[in-house]
Amino acid sequence: MHQTTRRALRVRQVLEKTGLSRTHLYRLQQQGDFPPSVKLSERVAVWDEAAVDDWLAAKFSSTCKEGE
């Protein structure tokens, strides 16, 4: 059986990858416009890297279409 490796990103990694500010990240998440985080413990939240990558790809795709 083939297993896909999933990578969890901490908030600093998400901010670095997306270029968003922490405030804007949480605002987008609250509005349902960014993938949800998963609580691993009381103080640790992570994001699925594939979901973040898909969100970025969708943003690039919509920006490219608007520029045509």
The pLDDT assigned to 65 comes to 63
Q: Which one, of 68, 54, 65, 62, lies nearest residue 18 by Cα? A: 54
What's the whole-model pTM score?
Answer: 0.83
Residue extents of the structural domains in the chain:
8-66
In this structure, what token pair is assigned to residue 63? 């920006």
Tell me if 37 sits within 8 A of 28, measured CB to CB. no
% of the chain exceeding 70 in pLDDT: 87
pLDDT band at 34 (very low <50, low <70, confident <90, very high): very high
The pLDDT assigned to 62 comes to 78
Of 3 and 10, the structure prediction assigns the larger pLDDT to: 10
